[in-house]
Amino acid sequence: MSLDLFNYNRRETNVIHVGVLDMGGNNLIRIQSMTTTSTDDTKGSVAQAERIIKAGGELVRLTTQGKREAENLKNIKAELLADGYSTPLVADVHFVADVADTAAQYAEGVRINPGNYVDPARRFIKKEYTDEEYTQELQKIEDRFIPFLNICRKNHTAIRIGVNNGSLSDRIRNRYGDTPEGIVESCMEFLRICKKQHFNDVVISIKASNTVVMVHSVRLLVAEMEKEHMKYPLHLGVTEAGDGEDGRIKSAVGIGALLADGIGDTVRVSLSEEPEAEIPVARHLVNYITMRTGHVLIPATQAKKFNWINPKRRETKAVENIGGDQVPVVIGKSTKADYWYTGSTIPEHPVPQQKYIIDYNKFGELQGEGKLTELEKDGTRFYPIFPVNAMPFMAMVQSPLKFLVLQFGTPAAEYLTCLKYHPEAVVICMSHHKNRLGDQRALVHEMWSAGLKNPVIFSQMYSHSQTEKEDFQIESAADMGALMMDGLTDGIWLLDGGDLSDEDIVSTAFDILQAGRLRTSKTEYISCPGCGRTLYDLQGTISKIKKATKDMKGLKIGIMGCIVNGPGEMHDADYGYVGAGFNRISLYRKQVCVEKNIPEEDAVDHLLALIRKDKEKRS
């Protein structure tokens, strides 16, 4: 890979055309969303599309279950043009390849899903394919896909090859497993045909509700395309991200991790809310990342043991409960944090079992007065933090855990020697650089190359008002995304100079760790944004389920509009709630359906009863 880990540059891609819109190359990163209306409903679809466009959406996707919906795109497009909107429409097709052929005549773009374009719908069956049988299946795909490409070429229609982790075909799953390698191969099978046929108006997406799977799969895809000399643009999104703060943080972690490495030419933030609510979130995320363009060069070298495509957690020596194999910690100014930073202030009534961080000079003063032993009762502990200019004093202060604040550019000979002689020191990695990801990566890679195993906590500093809380959450999640995916994170310390509450800041840190699959601190909800296939009140149901299960820490619940990605995206969820028809729901335990076609009004109660029953069995 020719990726520069430390300096921000957009990945080089082909320019493609989607109606009046150019994508890829040096074009702006495009923002899009998807309607939740039935595509048979012309008025409703037009109204929702216009709300998306007015919010700043540059493409609008609509579900097309059948030929009737595909043909009605013509009417929707005509009404939008009459209202003065030329925004490209993209048809979303699953299961029926003939529908894609029809949609390509009316929409500027068509999304097909390799998992169900020619391969039959998933049944999660096990079957061993011989190489000959597998080759025959690939030939079936090519025979069916080429006529579709010819229709698209004739109508100047772009295509999106959209792979979802939740809808891999049984054929792919049986050969590659439910892995990034399987996800990427599912995509590459179709890309090879496009390249062979010289069809260039192609954009690719690889999505998953698991941010780690999503990021690692896209990284692998980029590497595989480079090997085969492909430069197709990429669409980014975390599918089934959820709603509210969780949905925004989860999306920013996954999408931000890739955008920060220059990957991505169009973005959708999939929220279980009204589609127009997705646009400002995506726009802020894109603007925040791309503003680092043209930053001052970071002269760093990648550690030899680091693997960007398949990263493992950096090996560190545990210091107290930080580093090693332990979950990352959170530092903040709150009892909710693992470590409470109090500066030079000692609380009059220390909280039992709480761990505190205090400035090194205050710590030394108390230690000299013999007061620290007194403050360590009831499990309460105090640990010193040293600024970089106080490194010489570290040996003078006795503590089983010390914190040292560092940033890239600190003379390596000095700090590397200090850390070598102080394995009890945990590094607080901070940055004031325009590209803080590259700067913070650079420090850790410098330590790694020197063979140091001190844990690293990333400190991210901002300044937001209470009304900008959403911006703070998006930015901090985006900044931490790649650092978590790289396996470099032993902890987070978020700081904000505005008027955000300490509790909100600390809660955001825990939510970021959960979104990065590094630490679970509350119930996780995997919920889709809904589309024309959703035939029940998705948003109301999500709210009801969250209210009833919010205290079930460690539980994962999938809430899905339909079966397209439902059972597949819920593969690591404990329970699933999936739309099965008009006002009908099916319930899942893991990927096994345990109740079918429950009336919507009874389904949430059935889900709660199922959870309670399983809990009673375990106890």
How does residue 571 score in pLDDT terms, banded at 50, 70 and 90? low
Residue at token pair 């600190």: 410
Segment 147-156 mean pLDDT: 98
How does residue 275 score in pLDDT terms, banded at 50, 70 and 90? very high
Are 286 and 259 in contact by the 8 Å Cβ rule? The answer is yes
Please choose, from the candidates 599, 568, 565, the residue with its C-alpha nearest in 3D space to the C-alpha of residue 581.
Answer: 599
Could you give the CA distance from residue 35 to residue 38 in angstroms, rounded to a whole number?
8
* pLDDT tens sequence across 499-516: 999 999 999 999 999 999
* pLDDT at position 490: 98
Between 404 and 177, the higher pLDDT residue: 404
Of the chain, the percentage scoring pLDDT greater than 70 comes to 97
* pLDDT at position 533: 72
Phi-psi map region of 242: left, alpha, beta (phi>0 left; psi -120 to 50 alpha): left
* pLDDT at position 540: 86
Main-chain dihedrals φ then ψ at residue 72, nearest 5 degrees:
-75, -10
* pLDDT at position 563: 67
Could you give the CA distance from residue 274 to residue 257 in angstroms, rounded to a whole number?
25
Beta pairing, strands 16-18 & 21-23: antiparallel
Greatest extent of the chain over all pairs of C-alpha atoms, in Å: 84
Give the amino acid at 595: E
Are 235 and 61 in contact by the 8 Å Cβ rule? The answer is no
Beta pairing, strands 158-164 & 202-207: parallel
Position 123 pLDDT exceeds 70: no
Could you give the CA distance from residue 49 to residue 76 in angstroms, rounded to a whole number?
9
Beta pairing, strands 30-34 & 59-63: parallel
Segment 470-498 mean pLDDT: 97
* H-run or E-run covering 618: helix 600-618
Could you give the CA distance from residue 416 to residue 452 in angstroms, rounded to a whole number?
8
Would you list the DSSP string of 203-272? EEEEE-SSHHHHHHHHHHHHHHHHHTT----EEE--TTB-SHHHHHHHHHHHHHHHHTTT--SEE----S
Euclidean distance between the first and the last CA atom of the chain, given in angstroms as a whole number: 50
Position 168 pLDDT exceeds 60: yes
Could you give the CA distance from residue 339 to residue 454 in angstroms, rounded to a whole number?
18
* pLDDT at position 1: 52
Exposure of 338 in the CB half-sphere (CA atoms within 13 A): 19
Could you give the CA distance from residue 465 to residue 485 in angstroms, rounded to a whole number?
29
Between 42 and 558, the higher pLDDT residue: 42
Give the amino acid at 515: A
* pLDDT at position 129: 84
Sequence-distant (≥ 6) Cβ neighbours of residue 540 within 8 angstroms: none
Please choose, from the candidates 107, 103, 36, the residue with its C-alpha nearest in 3D space to the C-alpha of residue 66.
Answer: 103
> What predicted TM-score, i.e. pTM, was given to this entire model?
0.93
Average of per-residue pLDDT values in the chain: 92
Could you give the CA distance from residue 275 to residue 258 in angstroms, rounded to a whole number?
23
How does residue 124 score in pLDDT terms, banded at 50, 70 and 90? low
Position 615 pLDDT exceeds 90: no
Could you give the CA distance from residue 160 to residue 142 in angstroms, rounded to a whole number?
16
Could you give the CA distance from residue 439 to residue 545 in angstroms, rounded to a whole number?
42
Could you give the CA distance from residue 619 to residue 612 in angstroms, rounded to a whole number?
11
Task: Look up residue 137 and give its two tokens.
Answer: 């299946």
